């Protein structure tokens, strides 16, 4: 999952529900590798805090079967979060088969911060919020 840029603003992933996906696997589900978080702007220290399966809604986008959080706070947010999923109950025939829409129709969501142009760890977040959509493979 990577940051989104629009109209000169950068959206960083951070806090509870920093990243959420709805993976397509039955039974035992996949093995999930420990995420690596990166922020390409100076003054940030993104830190993965853990996975949880609380069943909480991610804003208005519904629930997801994989939720990840990082250490709370703007300066702990990430521009990129990577991790591996290994299917334990068969195989995924393509990248498009790894995720599936949740009950609300979304495959993935992020929570985070809007950073102004020239983003640094000393910037002030313009807003906080969540976004959801489909995964592009």
Distance CA 82, CA 62 (A): 22
Rounded Cα gap, residues 20 and 17, in angstroms: 6
Q: How far apart are CA 52 and CA 113, in angstroms?
A: 21
Strand duo 4-6 + 85-86: pairing: unpaired
In the prediction, which pLDDT does 27 show?
62
pLDDT of residue 65: 86
Nearest 10 degrees: Cα torsion 48, 50, 56, 60: 20
- Residue 41, exposed/middle/buried by CB under 10 A (0-12, 13-18, 19+)? middle
Say whether 19 sits in a helix, a strand or coil.
strand
* Residues of the chain below pLDDT 70: 1-8, 26-28, 53-56, 135-137
Instruction: Take residue 129 and report the two structure tokens written for it.
Output: 């919020």
- pLDDT for 85: 85
In this predicted structure, what is the pLDDT of residue 95?
Answer: 76
């Amino acid at each position: 999952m990577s940051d989104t840029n629009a109209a000169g603003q950068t959206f960083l992933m951070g806090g509870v529900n920093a990243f959420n996906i709805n993976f397509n696997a039955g039974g035992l589900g996949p093995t999930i590798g420990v995420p690596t978080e990166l922020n390409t702007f100076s003054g940030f220290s993104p830190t993965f805090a853990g996975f949880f399966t609380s069943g909480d809604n991610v804003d208005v986008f519904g629930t997801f079967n994989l939720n990840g959080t990082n250490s709370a706070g703007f300066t702990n947010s990430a521009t990129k979060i990577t991790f591996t999923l290994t299917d334990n109950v068969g195989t995924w025939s393509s990248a498009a088969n790894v995720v599936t829409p949740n009950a609300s129709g979304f495959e993935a969501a992020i929570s985070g911060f809007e950073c102004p142009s020239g983003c640094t760890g000393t910037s002030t977040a313009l807003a906080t919020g969540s976004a959801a959509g489909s995964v592009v493979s």
